[in-house]
Structure 1
């Protein structure tokens, strides 16, 4: 659900945000890293949104010294045998440019099938095989380095079927990864966090054994249709990583980090508005709200008035990211993945390099 809901809110102009950033003071930033030397290790991946492809692509090239993998959000599974491309999917200019910069290209396949359709695919042997073949056709269609599966409708599977569906999905991933490895391609799997109240459908142990990387979407602790609050916090990361590292080697984990936020109307059940870091900062300065860090979550937030209604914005920036990285270090997780390229505070790259 995390990635699907973001797309609905991001197909809009960002001109106001850009203008507001010009000629105004920025929020407090991180100190520069001391000294010069070898470039930082390539421990960062990033999703590349197709709806803002050129800007995200140029952003990736600017940070090629840190990026080891880019996953263009290019494909959507429609059925067992059909995987369709989004606008710009398979751009050879983007693929070749990223490869020239030394970055692997592992496109993401997402899905938004009708309820129960994906479960029917993963729990049927013949349909699973058909779907693996469809995914391999995508991998062979370009000079890709592998594939990333982001199948989020698996996550809310109900009590009666979750064990069967979870096992079926793990089998699909195991079969797919084996076929990819035979082609010397990478197998990347994106999952939601497994906590005491969420994520039980994911068989982390089997998925982690099969895949080269398991990406955890560690954001939306508070999300668009819920109550206002931080997207992530150190305590939440503790819970996520304590469980994840007990089932998956830390070297295989990529912790998903947010570069965005949500803007809620206080007391309303309406969905929050999506804001990138740039949009959130531009809004904060436009309404004259002070820059504040929540002492518990270590993330920025502010409130403002609009049309006589109170609104509150929680988002993530480089300072908040830097405050969360010690939890990753504690559990030996060196790899991270950004949702998404072009959303983030530019200073986050320095935080990732030094943190």
Structure 2
């Protein structure tokens, strides 16, 4: 069956069977080296888990420290075994069954030698080593097949197809695939630096880096000719890399304080500007970044096809050495004619990048009527639509750490950090109310009139994190570091170790 499976970029006629086998063997060997990237520390860490799990066959009803180690291992891998209490109950069995299914094993819920071996491989892929291995993924090369890739990843073709939302076995060079065993519940934060002495984001990251997986340095913007302006934040890069975490360079089309449609159009449609932009973005990797987050906004919907092709070309340009992630606007349904979101083909973008951040915020904004930045029912709908187009193992739910205040009499509002809104209410002795999604809001009287304020805090953000846990998404991505309330990090801690939503 595998002999006649469609390869990336070519077919496999019978008279090239042995050459095809050699290519698959080479691809598999390289994939093992690339995906795992295992250091001695990594092997020791996974061996420690296995030593604690031991050799006893574990099944529903088992008790002991070996069951506790199993539950901790499953939780680390993004499965939900229930409380880590050493009791192999129904939730632990369900987590084992799901792990076995995604590993291509017989899913009987019993932990024996084969399941233990699969656990070892999965743990090695997410602990220690190169931080990029924590997003277990592979960039397809010419001659690859799903069969060769799945075997090297320790999973089945079916599980690999399901994890990546593939409808057929046809794959293409440059396409990016994630492993079904990619760890979930990652925390990403965007860290802008708007002025030379702005250390707000840096200090937040420094304080909470223990609970952060990926930091996005918001320091680069494209020009109309495809060159890039900005120097990034070297102090942030040094801090994050020093702690063995991932750092990405944010690339936008901002001009001043807004996203410039003409810049996006020039880069997407101009041959010279497009070529220069691809080279400029790749050049950022020389500054120590692990990859990029492309955040082009206010893109002309007429350039929907050009945007998709740009992502494809960027994937090939960056190659496997760099992560390619994309931020996209929130949608409740596909609307190619929308002036704000029409240019974004979720399905195509998801196929050609490693992760997609759905910016599930600004439901209400400065020039809209007052309301939540991200109401819970709206975020639920946004997530539901995104999952119909983007693999959950690639999807990050964007969450806001800010708010808006609007004049009650009408008129344009203004944004403010969530911690400032919270402090303002406390200083004025104002009782904060919450909507049905736990979003806090209040009204206050100023010298120039009354204002209504909506913002996000730890409780309202936890309700959104529960969606990410329930849907087993790759994680959440917070815009932005330094604006959040202190209790936001209590919710982040919960998210990193969450067993079940609402507990």
Place the TM-score, normalised by the shorter chain, in its bin. 0.7 to 0.9
Deviation at 1:35, TM superposition (A): 9.9
Alignment of 1:271-310 (within 5 A): 272-295=413-436, 297-307=437-447, 309-310=449-450
Partner of 2:365: 223
What corresponds to 1:135 in structure 2?
A: 281
Please tell me whether the aligned partners of residues 184 and 473 of structure 2 are also in contact (alpha carbons under 8 angstroms).
no
With over 3 angstroms needed to count, the CA separation of the structure-2 counterparts of 1:227 and 1:79, relative to structure 1, is same
Residue pair 1:80, 1:127 contacting (<8 A) in 2 also: yes
From 325, 328, 332, give the equivalent of 2:472: 332
Helix, strand or coil: the match of 1:64? helix
Gap runs ≥5 in structure 2: 1-82, 86-126, 128-182, 496-503
| Partner of residue 213 from structure 1, selected from 330, 338, 355 | 355
- Match of 1:247, SS state, is coil
Give the whole-Å Cα distance in 2 for the aligned partners of 1:92 and 1:237.
34
Which digits, 9 at most, give the CA deviation of each residue in 1:297-328, with x for residues without a partner? 32000001112522100000001111222322
Q: Partners in 2 of 1:100 and 1:190 — Cα distance?
A: 26
When structure 1 is superposed on structure 2, of 56-65 and 273-282 the one drifting more is: 56-65
Moved over 6 A (4+): 39-42
Higher share in helix: 2
Asked if 1 retains the 8 angstrom alpha-carbon contact of 2:330 and 2:359, the reply is: yes
Structure 1 equivalent of residue 245 of structure 2? 103
- Aligned match of 1:323: 463
Judge which range, 118-127 or 245-254, deviates more: 118-127
TM-superposed deviation, 1:277? 1.5
TM-score if structure 2 supplies the norm length? 0.57
Higher relative contact order (Cα pairs below 8 Å, separated by 6+ residues) = 1
Corresponding residue of 1:43:
186
In structure 2, distance between residues paired with 1:241 and 1:149 = 20
Indicate conservation of the 8 Å contact 1:193/1:240, yes or no: yes
SS of alignment partner, residue 237 of structure 1: helix
- Is the 1:41–1:66 Cα contact (8 Å) retained in structure 2? no
Q: 1:116 aligns with which of 247, 262, 275?
A: 262
CA contact (8 A) 2:468 2:476 kept: no
C-alpha distance in 1 between matches for 2:241 and 2:448: 51
Paired residue for 2:219? 74
3-state secondary structure, aligned to 2:388: helix
**Does 2:204 match 1:59?**
yes
Question: How much has 1:259 moved relative to structure 2?
Answer: 0.7
- The farther-off stretch of 338-347 and 61-70 is 61-70
Number of residue pairs matched by the alignment: 306
Larger radius of gyration: 2
**1:92 equivalent in alignment to 2:234:** yes
Offset at 1:53?
A: 4.4
Per-residue CA distance 1:174-231 (angstroms, 9 max, x = gap): 111222124x111111111122476232111111111111111111111011100001
Question: Is the contact made by 1:47 and 1:338 (CA closer than 8 Å) also made in structure 2?
Answer: yes
Q: CA deviation at 1:41?
A: 7.7
Shift of 1:286: 2.6
Question: Take 2:285 and 2:271, find their aligned partners in 1: how far apart are those partners?
Answer: 21
Change (3 A) 1:345 1:41: farther
CA RMSD of aligned residues (A): 2.4
Of 181, 194, 197, which residue of structure 1 is paired with 2:331?
194
Q: Unaligned stretches of 5+ in structure 1?
A: 1-33
Partner of 1:172: 310
**1:46-102 deviation line (CA, Å, top 9, x unaligned):** 1111137423223212222221111111011112331100xxx34433212211112
Partner in structure 1 of residue 14 of structure 2: none
Q: Distance in 1 between matches of 2:474 and 2:493?
A: 11
Secondary structure of the equivalent of 1:116?
helix
Structure 1 residues 308 and 112: CA distance shift in structure 2, 3 A:
closer
State the distance in 1 between where 2:424 and 2:233 align. Answer: 34
1:124-175: per-residue Cα shift (whole Å, max 9, x none)?
44432221112112222x1110111111121xx3xxxx2x401101111111
- Whether the 8 Å contact between 2:184 and 2:475 is mirrored in structure 1 is no
2:356 is equivalent to residue 235 of structure 1 = no
